[in-house]
Structures are given as C-alpha cells and as structure tokens.
Amino acid sequence: MRPFDYQQAQGTAAALALAAQHLAPPGEERILAPAQYLAGGTNLLDLMKIGVAHPPALINITALRQDHGRIETDASGLRLGALARMAEAAEHPAVLRDYPAIAQSLQLAASQQLRNMATLGGNVLQRTRCNYFRDPSWQACNKRVPGTGCAAMAGVNRRLAVLGVSEHCIAHYPGDFANVLAALGAEVEILSSDGTARRIAFEELHRLPGDAPHIDTNLRPGELIISFRVPAGPWTRRSLYLKIRDRESYDFAQASAVVALDLQDGVVREARVGLGGLVAKPWRSHEAEAALRGRKLDQASAQASADAAFQGAVTHGENAFKPELGRRTLVRALLQAAAMET
Amino acid sequence: MPDGNQTIIGQPAIRIDGRAKVTGMARYASDEVVANPAHAFLVTSAIARGRIRGFRLDAARAVPGILDILMHGNVGGEAEKPKPMSGGDTTTTLESDRVWHDGQIIAVVLAESFEAAREAAHKVEVDYEAEPPSATFGSPGVEEEVRKAGEHKDYKVGDAEASFAVAEVKVDARYGTPTQHHNPIELFTTTCEWRGGKLTVYEPSQFVYGLRGSLAKQLRMDPGDIHVVSRFVGGAFGSRGGITARTAWIAVAARRLNRPVRLVATRDQGFTIVTYRAETRHHIQLGATRDGRLTALRHEGWEVTSRPSEYNVSGTETTARVYACPNILTKVNIVHADRNTPGFMRAPPETPYMFPLEVAMDELAVALNMDPVELRRINDTQTDPATGKPYSSRSLMPCFDQAAERFGWKGRNPAPGTMRDGDWQVGWGCATAAYPANIGPAAARVTLTLEGKARVQIAAHDIGTGAYTVIAITAADRLGLEIGKVVVELGGSELPAAGLAAGSSHTAGICNAVAKACEGVRQRLAQAAVTSNDGPLAGQDPAKLTLSAGALRAPGGAAEDLPKALARVTTGVLEVYAENIPKGLPPESIGKVYQGQMAMSRGHSREDATTYTFGAQFVEVRVHALTREVRVPRAVGAFAAGTIVNPLTAHSQYMGGMIWGISAALHEATEIDPHAARYVNDNIAEYLMPVNADVRSIEVIMVPEQDAQVNPLGIKGIGEIGIVGMNAAISNAVWHATGRRIRDLPIRIEDLL
C-alpha cells in the first residue's frame, strides 16, 4: 500500500503543531495540504483507497472531541462543535426543535452507520461525487489535475452542477448539511497552525470553481475547523430541508432546498433560502430570498423566488433538466414551510 | 417412478445451509484455504479501443513484495481466450496487444499481499495507441448486422406486414432498455493451486463443469487434471455462467510462481471483466380488431455486443408466442461496438423484450378503451401461435385473476391522472410475465447408509437460490427420510455432472436427476424385500412399494424399517448413480455436460409441446405532482410454475425478482461516456438499486398448477420470471398516474418533469 505518516493528536495544540510540521512549499499548499486531519474518515479514506487523495500524513483528531465535540445553544444561536458526529447533531433535541432544517439535512444524508462515524467538520468538506474526479483513470479533470480539462461537460453529468459552474469545472458539491449552514448565515470558526482563531461566513468557506477548481475551500494549510455558529432568528423554527433523489434513501440529492421563513399573516418578513444537489458549492440564494421579502407566500411568489434562484443556471446536455427540477424543489419547499405549524 | 406420496416436496422448508451462511461457516471461493497464496491485482485498460504500445514498470517493480507482472509480452501465448457459452467469438485480454473495450484486463500484478499488488498495479504505466471508440447505438463507427439464425430463431407466421397495414386499431412505437450489471455481493474471485500437473480452481460458478471444460481448452490440458470448486456462491444472476478471461491468467500466474494465487477483483472491475446485460432497442407494431383481437404482431430488436461476438438474447422467441395472433413477424439485429461481450443476466431475453411488448399491449388497451386485463384474456391461448403446438400447461389468466383480486384492480379508474393521494399522483399498471420452462440433463449419486442417512452428490450450484435445500427435499421425499437426514454435496467437478444453473432450468434438471437416483435406491430395496423368504414384504409387487416415514411400505400396510430393508441389500452402504436425460434430448447430452458444454431442452423448442411459466404482475406507483420522483408502494405478482419444491425459497425468488424489477424500471443503468466509451458509474454508490425504503409491500401468489408433461416432477422453474413483467407494469402504472408514456428505461425524474 501507499505509505503515509499517521499520528494521533492528543489535543488541539498538538494537532496544529503536527500539521505545521508538514506544511507544503508556498504556492503548492492549496491543492491538498500535505497533512490531512482525519476524523470519521468516511470521505478521506475512501478517496485514498480509490487513488484520488494521497496525503503524505494523516493526523487523527478524534481526541479533539473533548474540546470541539459539543453542541450548545443559547439566545444568540447554535454552536456546533466540528467534531460532533452527524448523528449527534441530527438527534439533538434543541436542533430538532429550533433548527429542523439542520436536523433534516443530516438525517437525510448517508446512512445511520456513516452518520455515527462522520463529523460535522468533515462532512462540510466532503468532495464532489463527480465520477470523472473520483476515477484517476480519466485524464481530463481540472479538479483533480489542474489544466487537464473537464471530461464531464460532454459526458455523463446528470448529477453535476448547474449553479456556480465555470468553463473549467461542473462538479457538484454533494452534501446536504452545508447548504443549510450557508442558507442560515452560519459562521465557521477556524484555528490556524499558530493557534490564532478566525471566523468567516460559512458562505465564504467553499470556493467557486472559476479557473482553479482544484481548490475547494479557502482554508489555509494546517487550519482546523473547530465549530459552526448558526445565528438565531425568527425564521429558524419554520425551516426545512427538502431533498429530491432518485431513490428513497441513501442517495445524494438530485436537487434540494433549504427554506427558513419568518412569516407574519402569510407575508414573508424574512427568508433564508439554500440549494443543493446541483450547485458547485454550498449555496445560499440571496436572489430567491429577495424575491420573497415583503410578499405573501403563495404559488406565484414561490415561483418568482425559484425563477430568481436559477437565473444564472448553466447546463450541459444530460443535466439540462436540473434548473427546472431545482425550481420545483424550491417551490415545493417554500409552500411546505409556509404550511408548517411552529 | 411411483407418485402420490409427495409429502415433503411442496412443503416450506428452511435452508439446510442457512446456519452455515449466517454463522460465517460457509466457505465462498475466496475463503477456501490454500497454503501461502500470492495475491493478484488486475490492471485494466483506460481506453476502449486501440493497442498497447508498451508498459513502463519501473515504479511498479520497485514496490516491496512484488513478485511478477503478467502481460501479453510475457505470457500471451500461454492461454487461449475463453469460449463464451453463447454468441461465438469474443474479445481477447493478454493474448495480444489489442484493446477491445474499457476496463479490459491488460496485466496481472502479483505480490506477497493484496495491498502490495494493488499499489504496484496503480504504478503500472501504459502507453496506448488509442483509436476513437464507438460506445453504443448511434455512435459513429458501430457496425449493425441482422442476427443470423442458428442459436436463435425468427418467426414468420401469416403476413404481419399486410395485416398491420389494414388493422382497425394499431400501436406502432419504439422502446429502449439500458446497460445493466449484475453486481452480486460476492466479488469476482479466482484462486488457483497447482499440485504437479493438476490444477484446482476455486471460483464462484454457475457451471463448474463448463468452467473446467473451457479452462482445459484454454490451457491445453486434460479436463480430468482440473478440479473446480464452488461450494457457495454469493449471487450470480448470470454473471458466473460462462468462464471469463481472468481464470486462465490466474492459473498461469500460479504456475509461474509455483504457489497458489488468489484474485479478488474490485467492485469497479466487476463492471468490465465479466459480462453484462446489453442495452436494447425495439420496434413494435401491434394490429388488432375493434374488439381487441390481435391481427398482427411485429417485433424487431437491436442489441449491442462486442466487435467480434454475435451474442444476442433474441427475446422475440418469447414475445412471438405470448398471445394468440395469426400474423407474426420477428427480427433481431446486433450492433457491434467497442464494448466487452455481454452475457446472461436474470431473464436475459425476457426482461428487455417483454418490456416493449407489454407496454405496447397497454397502449393497445388504451387505444381500444379496454381494461388491460381483459385485453390479455381476449388474446389468451392454449396453443403456441408461433408453432401451433399445445402449451403443456398455461395458467396466465388464473394468474391475472388472482393477482387482480388481491391488488384490488377493479377499483381502478382507467383514465390517467385521475387517482391522487395528496401531492402524489397514483397509478396502477399490470403486465404479463412469461419464461420458458427449460431443463438440462444431470447426473446424481445417492448413498444410503445403515444409520438411515442419505448423502446426495451432484455438481449443482446454489447461487443463493436454495438448491441445497430443494435437493435435500427431493431426496427426503423420495427416500422417506426427514430432511435433516439428508446430506447434500454440491459445487465441485469431482461430483456427478449437472448443467448450467441458469435459464430457470436448474431445479427441474437436478431434482429430476436426484429423484431418478432415489428411484434406483427404492428399486434395489424393493427387489431385495420382495424376493426375501422371511420379510414382511416378501412376495409383494416391487413396483408398488414406496419409501415413506423411514420404512419401505406396501399398499396394504405391510412395511419394513429402512435399516432392515437396507440390510437385505448390503451390510455396507447402498450407492446409486443415475443420469436424467430430459425428454427430447439425445442420450449423449449428458456427455456434453461432462465435457462442459451447454445442453438444454428449451421450452420454445420442444417437439411435443411448448412449455412455459406464466405470471401476472400488478404495481402501484406514486409520482410527486411537482418534483416527479417515482416510488412503488406495492406490487402483487401471481405465478404458476408447476410443482413448487420449496414454497419458502420460491417466495424469496419471486420476491427478489420483483424487487429487481423495481430496480430495473426505475434505477439501474450503467452510464457510458459517449466519447470515451467507458463506464462512468462503475460503483454501487452511483449504480443505483433500491434500498429498503424503496421496497414496501411485495405480495407473491403461487397459483397451483400441475404439469405432468413438462418433466417427471412437473417442475417449471421460477428463478427468472419474477422480474419479467415488472418493467412494463411500472411503466404502465406511470402512464396511468401521469398520462406520460415512458418507453425508455429507467424511468427517471427528468422523464416526467
């Protein structure tokens, strides 16, 4: 097998220090940092087995659950430790009650076995399921090997993205939970290798492919996500995650929608809208939100919101159906959220 | 053989190998213990057409633990390509530098561990001389030809073209089905071990004698020097019917290393190193009178195959004879592309060919404003319309009536788009299932011991179907023993020969052979009992004695316990070997099985009658009014298949077939890149099949049917028919829910937006 260093970090400072030992030369660092943090391993280990990821070093951060595995809520919002398991967040009473969209996005992802292993921090960083990316025998993949082209554009792409794509890459972000974090305006708390903390908007964590699709996120080498902060708001209780997929369970989304509404007498005071399954990165649609604000939520405003959300959609043959499916998914989610009893 | 004492055949019995399977004691081929095996990892081609200019191996050879790398340059002459069970020629692997298809085996890396072999295989660099490949129908460079008669027949009865032209009501439409892969849970493995000049092969197989015979030819050996072992098989579905290229190369590898070699191919390699269900296209024309009688049936099919192979399934052999029709015309074309050679997959001809016929029948029912069940009734027949021969038995309408009753079909509003449950459109559909009752020759040895136990030996194959158990049931029934007193040995070429476990022929073939051997046992015991001077059965008519409940019994009540009856024959064990040659096959057909060749009496080619199993399948679908995902909350299937040896495992077979039908209609498709002619979703995360949440209520009705003509035990076979009608029933239900007629599978969200 391909050799790699494997170390177990006993605490946060140790993990950061271990990562710092493996920093890549300037310019190279963003393709894939030479040291990868390993938590549940449900995505990274797969990628290593299929020859897509080959980090020289793995740093097991499971012990950091002590520091960063908690789920806490107060009047300002929800704080989700990055090392909390997907299953823990999905089943947490406060999450279920106050942030149903978050609970649903987790419950509808993967399988119970995977949710018991995977951490929230790892989940948001899962990489695309584009088959041309995941099989190194395909030569043309700008995301895997910069500058080689994109075989997916004229190939099998019914699962790939229509929002946020570039002429270099149409890979989709496959996850669910991250779309909710983006929509609800969450922040992500990050420690850098010298121990200093920074916070960025979750929407700024992932990058659009642009002309550098091989760089998925704005994380710097050695940085570690330690938590997600979801601000409270009058819309979080009336929120849901609708996932449309080919089969009933254990499948990635063909389209999904996050909707959170603050309604008064059927009129939208504030809305949060996210999309998934057909997006290049976790997606908040400010356009869809703007189209709803101040309007009575009905079929017409829902349709207007959905139309706004997919204004910039770009399709490539097989996936031409996805904007229409995405619009319908959002309409269905909006009407369903409006009908929720909170 | 005397009948009327069937007390165990037909009673539900749990699997005799169930405990071994659930406790991990069952040894699948790659579990078999061999001393100090080396591990193989396959290198497969990353292009679909061209030649290999050369390999760069320095990095691979530097991997610690590497032992050898097999390529066309160093071993190409050591084996010949395998001969498929059907379709003539096939593609090569290491025999030459030619690349015929994506994922073709082009090198075999051998190392001390699986991990080292895999790592070295990833480091093998290949220089190709690539040529533009052709992926499938419509791709530039494919070659189409009319399928020659030979293995399969076309039918021309009356004048279908003229009758269609003047028909009062017509359906004229085109249909398509996708590439599909078996994906059995057990991966494709081969372990080879040489002792002197003798070779043992451990490999999951549906035909151990076939594997032995083909491998002997490929390696230019005496078949008697090869022993094939396949005691348990973790699913097959046709994928392990014929030998594939890997086996000979693992044997060659073991010979070169002078130690056992084990290959466990990866899941994605399973998409290209074995066979698959080829995509098909169809043109159907149905003509009918206003009152629903068929006057014309034309069915033309197209099937993809590899460049050198003529493999095709020609399901028109079934679609030509399902309904009474005076004018029938069928034709099949094959389309050569840069693909590997396809092969058997559950109900190989009927799954893709009954789909268009049964959707067309639904379309005809709509055009006639007639209930689709009544349309089948009007066109039901007890005479094979293609040949004029009688059906040995045919219970199509009892199946429709019982399934319709259970389903609640009479509550259906025939107009499409009229049934609704909240946001979900509801649709009901039905279809006919049909599959020939086939049977092959087989031999069996039955040994009776003084302890009152029986051992049955036969080179049959339990591919998950319950073959171990139906053999034990048959022997127990015929010998008058409890099932627990019967030991069954299967899955090895040291045993009496049985044919390919495929075509729903296996239970009929092997149970009739076992019953015949048991009859030999009974005759020996009866003869000794009636000719003895002192026994309770002295002077009785030996033909009238039966074995039941542990004794040899005469009609009047006289009986002798089995151990005593056996002691009249021997103080040791009584061993009887028997060969069963099904009616219509020549005596030498058992010899063909021993040589590893196909020998099967097919339900559509018998002289005396047409023998078929029929069924009716009903499905409810729900389609979301807005987002259009399709779900199947319930399905009912009724089937009449003659004698059911074990209703418990039969139920599982039917149910499994129906679940697979949901999968085939809504989920399964191997996606091929149109330019590279390479499979894209070659994993079971993206090659979708139903999960538990997709499978709600599946009801199976076994309609009683007796058929004394089909074979002595009256067994018609059940393995395939469960899947056959599902594609069409689901498509027809989707039409009923939505008004949208979807003629290409699988039916997906985008087809209904």
Which residue of A158, A325, A332 is in closest CB contact with B753?
A325
Closest to A179 measured CA to CA, from A95, A260, A75 = A260
* Burial of B577 per CB tally in 10 Å (0-12, 13-18, 19+): middle
A29 band by pLDDT with thresholds 50, 70 and 90:
low
Residue A43 touches partner B, C-beta closer than 8 Å: no
CB atoms within 10 A of CB A341: 4
Closest to B128 measured CA to CA, from B108, B92, B89, B102 = B102
Nearest CA in chain A to B678: A138
Residue A46 touches partner B, C-beta closer than 8 Å: no
DSSP B649-693: HHHHHHHHHHHHHHHHHHT----B-TTT--BS--STTTS----GG
The residue behind tokens 């004018």 is: B327
Q: At residue B296, what are phi and psi to the nearest 5 degrees?
A: -150, 135
A242 sits in which H/E element: strand A239-244
Instruction: Please name the CATH architecture into which domain B32-131+185-235+240-271 falls.
Output: Alpha-Beta Complex (3.90)
How many Cα atoms sit within 13 Å of B40 on the Cβ side? 34
Break chain B into its structural domains and give their ranges: 32-131+185-235+240-271, 156-179+276-438+606-752, 441-488+499-594
* Residue pLDDT, tens place only, B116-151: 999 999 999 999 999 999 999 999 999 999 999 889
Q: In CATH terms, are B156-179+276-438+606-752 and B441-488+499-594 the same topology?
A: yes
Tokens of B729: 């029933």
For residues A55 and A127, the answer to whether their CB atoms sit within 8 Å is no
Tokens of B693: 């949440």
Q: Dihedral angle at the C-alpha atoms of B205, B207, B208, B210, nearest 10 degrees?
A: -130
For residues B717 and B615, the answer to whether their CB atoms sit within 8 Å is no
CATH topology (fold) of B441-488+499-594: Aldehyde Oxidoreductase; domain 4 (3.30.365)
Cis peptide bond N-terminal to B746, omega within 30: yes
**Distance (Å, rounded) from C-alpha A98 to C-alpha A95?**
5
A34 band by pLDDT with thresholds 50, 70 and 90:
confident
Q: With H, G, I as helix, E, B as strand and everything else as coil, classify residue B507.
A: helix
User: How far off is chain A from B94, nearest CA to CA, in Å?
Assistant: 20
**Distance (Å, rounded) from C-alpha B503 to C-alpha B509?**
11
CB-CB under 8 Å, A329 with B119: no
Which chain A residues touch B685 with a CB distance below 8 Å? 129
Q: Which of B119, B186, B579, B720 is catalytic?
A: B720
pTM: 0.97
Q: What is residue B2's predicted lDDT score, i.e. its pLDDT?
A: 38
Q: What is residue A33's predicted lDDT score, i.e. its pLDDT?
A: 77
CB-CB under 8 Å, A135 with B749: no
The residues, ordered by sequence, that sit 6+ positions from B411 with a Cβ below 8 Å of its Cβ are none
Please tell me the total number of residues recorded for chain A in this structure: 342
CB-CB under 8 Å, B693 with A131: no
Percent of chain B with pLDDT over 70: 99
B interface test, pick of A128, A131, A150, A336 with most B CB neighbours within 10 Å: A131
A2 band by pLDDT with thresholds 50, 70 and 90:
confident
Which chain B residues touch A327 with a CB distance below 8 Å? none
Q: Round to the nearest angstrom and report the end-to-end CA distance of chain A.
A: 54
Q: With H, G, I as helix, E, B as strand and everything else as coil, classify residue B619.
A: strand
Summarize the confidence of residues A49-59 as an average pLDDT: 92
Q: With H, G, I as helix, E, B as strand and everything else as coil, classify residue B204.
A: coil
Which residues of chain B are modeled with pLDDT < 70?
Answer: 1-6
Q: Pairing state of beta strands A5-8 and B419-421?
A: unpaired
Q: What is residue B1's predicted lDDT score, i.e. its pLDDT?
A: 37
CB atoms within 10 A of CB B682: 23
Which residue of A2, A139, A246 is in closest CB contact with B667?
A246
CB-CB under 8 Å, B671 with A156: yes
**Distance (Å, rounded) from C-alpha A55 to C-alpha B742?**
47
Position A32 pLDDT exceeds 90: no
**Distance (Å, rounded) from C-alpha A120 to C-alpha A269?**
30
Q: What angle do CA A181, A187, A193 make, to 5 degrees?
A: 120
Q: Dihedral angle at the C-alpha atoms of B90, B94, B96, B102, nearest 10 degrees?
A: 60
Which chain B residues touch A329 with a CB distance below 8 Å? 627
B105 sits in which H/E element: strand B105-111
Q: Pairing state of beta strands B486-489 and B454-457?
A: parallel
Q: Which CATH number fits domain B156-179+276-438+606-752: 3.30.365.10, 3.20.20.140, 3.40.50.1400, 3.40.50.1370?
A: 3.30.365.10
**Distance (Å, rounded) from C-alpha A182 to C-alpha B724?**
46
CA dist B279 → A317, B131, B489, B590, B743 (Å): 21, 23, 38, 34, 14
CB-CB under 8 Å, A129 with B629: no
For residues A295 and A336, the answer to whether their CB atoms sit within 8 Å is no
* Residues of chain B contacting A, Cβ within 8 Å: 46, 115-116, 118-119, 122, 268, 423, 624, 626-629, 631, 666-667, 671-676, 678, 680-682, 685-686, 688, 690-694, 748-750, 753
Phi-psi bin for B550: left (phi > 0), alpha (psi -120 to 50), beta? left
For residues A165 and A283, the answer to whether their CB atoms sit within 8 Å is no
CB contacts < 8 A, A to B, total: 88
Which residue of B681, B690, B749 is in closest CB contact with A325?
B749
Q: What is residue A148's predicted lDDT score, i.e. its pLDDT?
A: 97
**Is B494 one of the annotated active-site residues of the chain?**
no
Nearest CA in chain A to B680: A131
* Residue pLDDT, tens place only, B666-723: 999 999 999 999 999 999 999 999 999 999 999 999 999 999 999 999 999 999 999 9
Tokens of B753: 């937006």
Closest to A203 measured CA to CA, from A223, A184, A175 = A184
Closest to B198 measured CA to CA, from B256, B251, B261 = B251
* Residue pLDDT, tens place only, A141-185: 999 999 999 999 999 999 999 999 999 999 999 999 999 999 999
Q: With H, G, I as helix, E, B as strand and everything else as coil, classify residue B631.
A: strand
CB atoms within 10 A of CB B138: 11
**Distance (Å, rounded) from C-alpha B391 to C-alpha B478?**
28
**Distance (Å, rounded) from C-alpha B580 to C-alpha B582?**
6
The residue behind tokens 């559509």 is: B604
Closest to B527 measured CA to CA, from B570, B469, B585 = B570
B614 sits in which H/E element: strand B612-624
For residues B590 and B596, the answer to whether their CB atoms sit within 8 Å is no
Strands in A224-231's sheet, in edge-to-edge order, are A71-74, A77-81, A224-231, A187-191, A197-201
DSSP B331-379: EEEEEE-SS------SSTTHHHHHHHHHHHHHHHHHHHT--HHHHHHHT
For residues B664 and B180, the answer to whether their CB atoms sit within 8 Å is yes
**Distance (Å, rounded) from C-alpha B507 to C-alpha B644?**
10
* Residue pLDDT, tens place only, B312-361: 999 999 999 999 999 999 999 999 999 999 999 999 999 999 999 999 99
The residues, ordered by sequence, that sit 6+ positions from B224 with a Cβ below 8 Å of its Cβ are none
Which chain A residues touch B628 with a CB distance below 8 Å? 325, 328
For residue B706, how far is the Cα from the chain centroid?
Answer: 24
Find the farthest-apart pair of alpha carbons in chain B and give their distance in angstroms, rounded: 85
Q: What is residue B534's predicted lDDT score, i.e. its pLDDT?
A: 87
User: Looking at the DSSP assignment, which residues form a beta bridge with residue B455?
Assistant: B447, B487
CB-CB under 8 Å, B690 with A247: yes
DSSP B242-295: S--THHHHHHHHHHHHTS-EEEE--TTGGGTSS--BPPEEEEEEEEE-TTS-EE
Q: What is residue B359's predicted lDDT score, i.e. its pLDDT?
A: 98
Q: What is residue A30's predicted lDDT score, i.e. its pLDDT?
A: 55
Which residue of A131, A244, A328 is in closest CB contact with B681?
A131
User: How far off is chain A from B282, nearest CA to CA, in Å?
Assistant: 23
CB-CB under 8 Å, B681 with A244: no
User: How far off is chain A from B214, nearest CA to CA, in Å?
Assistant: 32
A193 band by pLDDT with thresholds 50, 70 and 90:
confident
Q: At residue B488, what are phi and psi to the nearest 5 degrees?
A: -120, 130
